[in-house]
A and B are shown apart, each in its own frame.
Chain A
Amino acid sequence: MSSGCPPQSPAVAKSEVAIEGECPLLAATFAYWDNILGPRVRHIWAPKGDQFMFLSDGDVTFLANHTLNGEILRSAECGAVDVKFFVLAEKGVIIVSLIFDGELKGDKNTCALSIILPQTELAFYLPLHTICVERLKHVIRRGRIWMQKGYNIISVLSLEIVPIMELLASMKTHSVPEDIDIKDTVLNDDDIGDSCHEDFLHKAISSHLQTCGCSIVVGSNPEKVNKIVRTLCLFLTPAERKCSRLCKADSSFKYDTGLFVQGLLKDSTGSFVLPFRQVLYSPYPTTHIDVDINTVKQMPPCHEHTYNQRRYMRSELSALWKTDCEEDIPPDTVIHTDETFTPDLNIFQDVMHKDTLVKSFIDEVFMLKPGLSLRSTYLAQFLLLLHRKALALLKYIEDETQKGKKPFRSLRNLKTDLDLTVEGDLHIVMAFAEKLRAGLHSFVFAKSMYTSMQERDVLMSF
């Protein structure tokens, strides 16, 4: 311990967060392992309202014990963030805890950032778990730097806790249902082109699939936006649909990193400003669909997206490291502060790769009579085909490379053997495979990309 005096009993600070709508989150806590007092809760965030009454102080202490008990044995590497997930039926709660080490008052302490939900929300929360955890992990990275500097971590953590509360509240009311009625989608139109232009629909679905099912749909008409959102969600798995959000009729939600499909409403001026950083932090590249002007743009493929994302994260953390004032938290200002990193702000580009898979599907599905479930069946066949192709591709690469032990050099053979000679088809199937085996794009394509990136950087520096 750093101080010789007996420590004062730390008071638990509480922040009540005003959230629009019903927030399923009961509370979020930041706790740490005090070397004398044991597990201590340092800060509690709770949505404003009656929910907080659900958890008494005793409950919070009990839960803090849970999250940190046993962590005295923690032997994780420095900087690692471990996730613990509790379902405590006795208390009727779910706790998600992220355990990490951080410096408090000159000592290394084990800390836990936790969010607490009622157990009844388990099915609602589970599909969103990865999104929440990834976002919290990154804010912890930033928080650790802040702690290292001796600053108050709470202000940094609040930057993500509050948006996560908002995200969960919005998902409670506007998440896409697991079962989508095809009647609510474009695929129920009598003929292709009834709701939107044929080529637009093809481009939108094709790009949506090429970007791993991750899309944002913007527009001025909420019904139109939501119809496209539902249509795109038809191509997702039920779990992915639960991570998708319809747009609000009156005002727009904020863009949320990690959702698969989200509908966003333009403001009265007819524009919607996307936060560069948040879009870049999405786990997959994103397709941008504007239903007002029928445009489809997409981000670079997975490997390039991941590379850009990591570079941006590193720059952001570096910028934070260099900050010398506690008040000056730089969330979105990296691009201005770090001169060595100049990301391409024009991340949404035209869809380059044409495909045959979606093209023929779109052409054919409208031949079937609507309203008889024929189209749903045909859609299921199409999705089955894509999933199987992805699995075959994955297995092909696995065989060729002895499960990644050797570099993959036979892309041309793969295309011929698996009938993926059309670039768009390959990208769609690769995107499906990427979701099954994260890092596949980087494994197959990254080497050539790194070389070209380095070339570009060097050329730019001349």
Chain B
Amino acid sequence: MIGSPDLVAFTKEDDYGETSPDPWALPEEFSVPLHPLADSNPWAKTSYAKFTKDFILISEFSEQVGPQPLLTIPDDPKICGTFDLNYFSLRIMSVDYQASFVGHPPGTGYPRLSFVEDSRVVLGDSKEGAFAYVHHLTLYDLEARGFVRPFCMAYVSADERKIMLQFQELSLRFSQASECLKAGNRRAFAKELQRKLRDLEYTHSVLQREEGLQREAGPQCMYSAHAVEKANELANVEKSIYEHRDLLRQISSYHHRPRRDPHAVTCQKCITECLSECEVLLDKYAKLANPFSYCDKGKKEDEGQSQINEEGGEDEVNEEEDEGVKRRPSYTPQLIKAKSAKCFDKRLKTLRELCDNTFYEATVELLKDTEKSFRGDLCYLYTRRLDRTLRRKQRVTNFLFEEDLGDEDEDERGTLRPFCAVNHAVDNYTLLNPPPIVLGPEPLELDALEPPHPLDPSSEISRPQELCELGLVGSHLESSPSDQTLETQESSEETKGSFSSDKSGTGQADRQQNLASITSEGPDSDLTPDPDHNTDLERESSSEEMETTAGEDDGDNGGDQTPVSLLEVMSELEASREDECEGATDGACEIQSDLLVPIDTACCMAQEGFLYEASAPETVPHHEQSSYLQPCQTLVVNQEPQAQLPLQDDYTVGSPSSESPAAGLELPVGLLGDAVSRTSAEDGSDCTMSASTGSDRAASPLGYGGVLTLRQRKKHGQGALKFVRQYPFAMQALWCLLSGRTLVVLGADEGRVRRLVAALALFVPAPGKCGERVQAWLSCPFTLTDLQRWKLIGLQRVASPVGSSMLYSLSRYSRYISILDADQKTLRCPPYRGQLLANIADHRTYIRRGSTYFLHLQSMLCRLAAKAFLYTFTHHLHLPVSSTEGSEVVEGRRRCFLQEQLGLGEEDSLILLYLSQLITQQYLQPATGSSAAATCFSFNYTTSVFYKI
């Protein structure tokens, strides 16, 4: 039999087969390649571009030197590499898209300004592998030919598809930048006209005086050639004055013209401001432009000069205007020579001069932000957008494992909202230095600045909408009196990084680092690797090694560049929230007591259209607690997350105030109700103890006081992968976390424990917005209440009396907790024999990178959340079919569903039951968010097993 290698040898098309080319054969240039490059390497499509990553290019069609590049963003020559910017500028600027008439149109006396709409072009150079979105715009310059200066801003990328698929977003961003430039330009142009008019008026007055003198000196009926020349010059100046006045009028009417571009982005406030400014000028020059305003008062009454003044301005007003002009010391009118400099002698204004520095800076910031938000590979950008769209549709389960989505339209914040970069900068010019984060595309970054309480003194600073509206939020952030509160805040922050820790400094450092990573976070660096990362695979693999070896140690270097002002503001915000929380505790306690009421999952079922209703706070299901919840919602949400957690309040309200002492801590009975015990009064006493010690503490959320960003989570993915690979009993530990059993990570080395906790926190369901359910580092004994609120605890191992009490607490609560010893590498927890986590925690996995593992983990957790959702909301599982059906039958049906429909064993079922319980609570008390989960506390009588490597 002939084998395949033999056959392949025969089939090979080589030189032996065809010695002479077929004259009828189709030349390659007319054909399509059978094996294009993309087949052999789908990542290689863009590799022949001469630049390493996307950039923005601003070019001008100079009337002196032709198309020329002006600026690139980022302003780094390495990015463009050997790419010929001059040639590319020539290519993108070669289209005379403004074929509209400029100058003196026939039949009009004065030159007309051409209000040309922007045009957008996508073009490419297939040979160079460069493609660009090009946004053409026109700026006005009094010195330029036809008063116009054509510019363009181009987003240059090696991926044509990336540009076309994001055309609308690019168009919107660049329209915003263009409007910003044009708004500044109109102001600058109006100012320039103002100066010019003053020069002309001054020149006119001088000429008039000279002419008057000559007339007086000469004979009455004769005019010398010199006098005629002067008169002509005077007439020319007068004409010029009228022309410039008309130009001023035209530029003032800019906003009144109908816009032909339906995609133009305009800021109403900007328009109004600019319009009023222009109108003031116009108004002034309509009167002041009386060419004789510079004449002596005495002469004013002479020779009927008012006849020449077509505008017929009243003398009184002129006087006032004169006063106004005189009061301006900044500009001294100059005499204009009869002949201006030749075209090539004059120096053209720079873009900055044309647009006014403020506007120019704002535009550049906006473009920098645009470049950042479009950075990275298309497939990751695209998937991220889809991801957000889909998550928005499942708000009921997002709290389990997903990072917060924020406001409804938050991701459109940077792209789809009307945006003005200058409006507010004009008033606060000195503060105009927006840090990139503020304009950043990642809504998560802004999530850190939660909407504060209305009474919050810093609310003006932190209101995200406002931040975005302002565009130049940075200026406001910096202008806040953060330095006044910084010290106070710092001292309070020190206690937050860890409990009784002698290494609070590291907490602060970490927090700064953390903040820095938040602030500097553009598109995800891992999933959206920058193109030099793309192209330089050697470097990538080495970085991968670093990632593997250094694990979570590798800090975010970008942190050093974080603007101090932002840190200050963040600190201030936190401080203000803490203050608020103190005031709100009383209100919150009532809520907590309500939360402790046992909840039956079935109660979700009876409500029609419940998911729609869930999003609207006023239509929270008719639960008897809803009336309590409503007034307190704002308080709870706006508090510092740690303060939301029930400490002694839970207990206080749960026992003395209720009829039954244990009512507050009554636990829901789950599927395996027989195995689940209720907390005893004895345990309750522990709570009291905890409360007494816990009241002066503040929990440290995992994110060291901030919201965990996707990037940070991904970074922790590396730690999680490492954990899964290193610990054969990782699956057991993860099962504990996913089934709601508190896991205590014990260790002497704070860094190691913290890293481990950060990695394991990925598996904690409903960790809270700021990781409130995770205590990264605890150096004092914990209590039962702590176990209720924390599902993952990093505990310091110390050899001291404190240490012994800690060990005591560990053994005392061992039936509620699992203990992972990071030093001994052991785990004590109930056994897990399920299959559900086999793919999440397979220590033989071939997944190489933490970010890949994180993606895999995300998909698996998403699946778990979906199953839990299904279990929670499958109505027939929770409701009796007939009135005669007892609760045992319903429970049997649930068990049957879990085992037969979903194919889950006993331990796996516990995961789903726990997740389902969380969903139910979240659904019933959406306003309280993750704190609702604190009520869920159960334990199992199953004996724990000791695992070791």
Given A314-B32, A399-B848, A418-B856: A381 touches B869 (CB 8 Å cut-off): yes
Query: Is B224 an interface residue when CB atoms closer than 8 A count as contact?
Result: no
Residues of B within 8 A of A311 (CB): 34
Residues of A within 8 A of B30 (CB): 79, 141, 144-145, 148, 317, 321
Question: Interface digits, A370-394 against B, CB 8 Å rule (1 contact, 0 not)?
Answer: 0111101110111111011111101
CA distance A210 to B38 in the complex (A): 21
Pair B168/A123 contact, Cβ less than 8 Å = yes
Pair A446/B39 contact, Cβ less than 8 Å = yes
Pair B261/A419 contact, Cβ less than 8 Å = no
Query: Is B263 an interface residue when CB atoms closer than 8 A count as contact?
Result: yes
Residues of A within 8 A of B448 (CB): none
Residues of A within 8 A of B118 (CB): 89
Residues of B within 8 A of A313 (CB): 31-32
Pair B126/A438 contact, Cβ less than 8 Å = no
Given A75-B125, A130-B164, A381-B397: A387 touches B386 (CB 8 Å cut-off): yes
Please give the distance in Å from A247's CB to the nearest CB on chain B: 27
CA distance A69 to B28 in the complex (A): 28
Query: Is B16 an interface residue when CB atoms closer than 8 A count as contact?
Result: no
Query: Is A358 an interface residue when CB atoms closer than 8 A count as contact?
Result: no
CA distance A395 to B524 in the complex (A): 14
Residues of A within 8 A of B38 (CB): 438-439, 442
Pair B41/A438 contact, Cβ less than 8 Å = no
Query: Is B455 an interface residue when CB atoms closer than 8 A count as contact?
Result: no
Please give the distance in Å from B243's CB to the nearest CB on chain A: 25
Chain B interface (Cβ within 8 Å of chain A)? 4, 7-8, 10-11, 24-26, 28-34, 36, 38-45, 87, 90-92, 94-100, 116-128, 160, 164-165, 167-168, 171, 260-264, 379-380, 382-383, 386-387, 389-391, 393-394, 396-397, 527, 534, 537, 540-541, 544, 608-612, 839, 842, 845-849, 851-852, 855-856, 858-860, 862-863, 865-866, 869-870, 873-876, 901
Please give the distance in Å from B899's CB to the nearest CB on chain A: 15
Q: Which of A290-342 contact B (CB under 8 A)?
A: 303, 306-307, 310-311, 313-314, 317-318, 321-322
Residues of B within 8 A of A381 (CB): 390, 394, 397, 862, 865-866, 869
CB nearest to A66 among chain B residues: B95
Pair A368/B171 contact, Cβ less than 8 Å = no
Pair A417/B119 contact, Cβ less than 8 Å = no
Instruction: Name the segment of A160-168, A270-278, A449-457 touching the other chain.
Output: A449-457
Pair B119/A392 contact, Cβ less than 8 Å = no
Pair A451/B4 contact, Cβ less than 8 Å = yes
14 contacts between A and B (CB under 8 A): A65-B95, A70-B92, A73-B90, A87-B119, A89-B120, A90-B260, A303-B39, A310-B34, A317-B32, A373-B611, A395-B849, A410-B846, A418-B856, A436-B379
Question: Interface digits, A412-423 against B, CB 8 Å rule (1 contact, 0 not)?
Answer: 011011110000
Query: Is A367 an interface residue when CB atoms closer than 8 A count as contact?
Result: yes
CA distance A303 to B8 in the complex (A): 19
CB nearest to A99 among chain B residues: B123
Residues of A within 8 A of B96 (CB): 65, 69
Pair B126/A77 contact, Cβ less than 8 Å = yes
CA distance A313 to B30 in the complex (A): 11
Pick the contact of A69: B4, B26, B95, B165 (CB < 8 A).
Answer: B95
CB nearest to A79 among chain B residues: B29
Pair B119/A86 contact, Cβ less than 8 Å = yes
Chain A interface size band reads 35 or more
Pair A368/B870 contact, Cβ less than 8 Å = yes
Residues of A within 8 A of B390 (CB): 380-381, 383-384, 387
Residues of B within 8 A of A384 (CB): 387, 390-391, 394, 862
Pair A86/B262 contact, Cβ less than 8 Å = no
Pair A402/B540 contact, Cβ less than 8 Å = yes
Please give the distance in Å from A330's CB to the nearest CB on chain B: 13
CB nearest to A420 among chain B residues: B839
Pair A85/B611 contact, Cβ less than 8 Å = no
Query: Is A105 an interface residue when CB atoms closer than 8 A count as contact?
Result: no
Pair B119/A89 contact, Cβ less than 8 Å = yes
CB nearest to B605 among chain A residues: A369
Pair A76/B127 contact, Cβ less than 8 Å = yes
Query: Is A92 an interface residue when CB atoms closer than 8 A count as contact?
Result: yes
Pair A369/B866 contact, Cβ less than 8 Å = no
Pick the contact of A70: B28, B41, B95, B119 (CB < 8 A).
Answer: B95
CB nearest to A429 among chain B residues: B859
Pair A119/B42 contact, Cβ less than 8 Å = no
Residues of B within 8 A of A87 (CB): 119-121, 171, 263
| Interchain residue pairs A-B with the least CB separation, the first 8 | A89-B261, A70-B94, A404-B41, A439-B38, A89-B117, A388-B859, A439-B42, A79-B29
Pick the contact of A419: B95, B393, B839 (CB < 8 A).
Answer: B839
CB nearest to B607 among chain A residues: A372
CA distance A254 to B271 in the complex (A): 50
Pick the contact of A399: B99, B120, B839, B852 (CB < 8 A).
Answer: B852
Pair A75/B127 contact, Cβ less than 8 Å = yes
Residues of B within 8 A of A367 (CB): 870, 874, 876, 901
Pair A443/B862 contact, Cβ less than 8 Å = no
Pair A387/B387 contact, Cβ less than 8 Å = yes
Q: Which of A352-371 contact B (CB under 8 A)?
A: 363-364, 367-369, 371
Pair A120/B262 contact, Cβ less than 8 Å = yes
CB nearest to B389 among chain A residues: A238
Query: Is A267 an interface residue when CB atoms closer than 8 A count as contact?
Result: no
Query: Is A398 an interface residue when CB atoms closer than 8 A count as contact?
Result: yes
Pair B125/A76 contact, Cβ less than 8 Å = yes
Query: Is A345 an interface residue when CB atoms closer than 8 A count as contact?
Result: no
Residues of A within 8 A of B117 (CB): 89-90
CA distance A119 to B98 in the complex (A): 17
Residues of B within 8 A of A144 (CB): 30
Query: Is A437 an interface residue when CB atoms closer than 8 A count as contact?
Result: yes
Pick the contact of B537: A92, A394, A403, A417 (CB < 8 A).
Answer: A403
Pair B608/A88 contact, Cβ less than 8 Å = no
Residues of A within 8 A of B92 (CB): 70
Residues of B within 8 A of A70 (CB): 91-92, 94-95
Pair A454/B8 contact, Cβ less than 8 Å = yes
CA distance A250 to B66 in the complex (A): 59
Please give the distance in Å from B714's CB to the nearest CB on chain A: 11
Pair A417/B847 contact, Cβ less than 8 Å = yes
Pair A388/B97 contact, Cβ less than 8 Å = no
Query: Is A80 an interface residue when CB atoms closer than 8 A count as contact?
Result: yes
Besides A89-B262, A373-B611, A396-B847, 7 new A-B residue pairs in contact (Cβ under 8 A), listed by A number:
A89-B118, A307-B34, A373-B609, A377-B396, A399-B849, A410-B846, A436-B382
CA distance A58 to B633 in the complex (A): 64
Pair A378/B119 contact, Cβ less than 8 Å = no
Pair A404/B42 contact, Cβ less than 8 Å = yes
Please give the distance in Å from A186's CB to the nearest CB on chain B: 19
Question: Interface digits, A43-65 against B, CB 8 Å rule (1 contact, 0 not)?
Answer: 00000000000000000001001
Please give the distance in Å from B82's CB to the nearest CB on chain A: 15
Pair A402/B127 contact, Cβ less than 8 Å = no
Please give the distance in Å from A374's CB to the nearest CB on chain B: 5
Given A387-B386, A436-B383, A454-B8: A419 touches B860 (CB 8 Å cut-off): yes
Pick the contact of B260: A92, A383, A394, A452 (CB < 8 A).
Answer: A92
Please give the distance in Å from A274's CB to the nearest CB on chain B: 23
Pair B842/A417 contact, Cβ less than 8 Å = yes
Residues of B within 8 A of A398 (CB): 43
CA distance A406 to B876 in the complex (A): 52
Pair B4/A455 contact, Cβ less than 8 Å = yes
Residues of B within 8 A of A419 (CB): 839, 860
Pair A126/B168 contact, Cβ less than 8 Å = yes
Pair A310/B32 contact, Cβ less than 8 Å = yes
CA distance A76 to B858 in the complex (A): 44
Pair B95/A389 contact, Cβ less than 8 Å = no
CA distance A144 to B26 in the complex (A): 12
Query: Is A5 an interface residue when CB atoms closer than 8 A count as contact?
Result: no
Residues of B within 8 A of A351 (CB): none
Given A89-B117, A387-B387: A438 touches B42 (CB 8 Å cut-off): yes
A90, A238, A313, A402 interface centre (most CB from chain B within 10 Å): A90
CB nearest to B167 among chain A residues: A126
CB nearest to B260 among chain A residues: A89
